[in-house]
Amino acid sequence: MATRADTSDTLLCLCARITESEVVSAIDGGAHDVLAVRDLTEASSGCGDCAADIEDLIADRTGGAPGV
Contacts 24+ apart (CB under 8 A), 44-47: 44/13, 45/13, 45/15, 45/16, 46/13, 46/14, 46/15, 46/16, 47/15
Model pTM? 0.82
The mean pLDDT value for 37-53 works out to: 96
More confident residue, 4 or 22: 22
**Residue 2: pLDDT band by 50, 70, 90 thresholds?**
very low
- Mean pLDDT, range 48-55, rounded to an integer: 96
- Would you tell me how many other CB atoms lie within 10 Å of the CB of residue 17? 12
What's the CA gap between 47 and 42, in Å, rounded? 11
Q: Which pLDDT band holds residue 26 (cuts at 50, 70, 90)?
A: very high
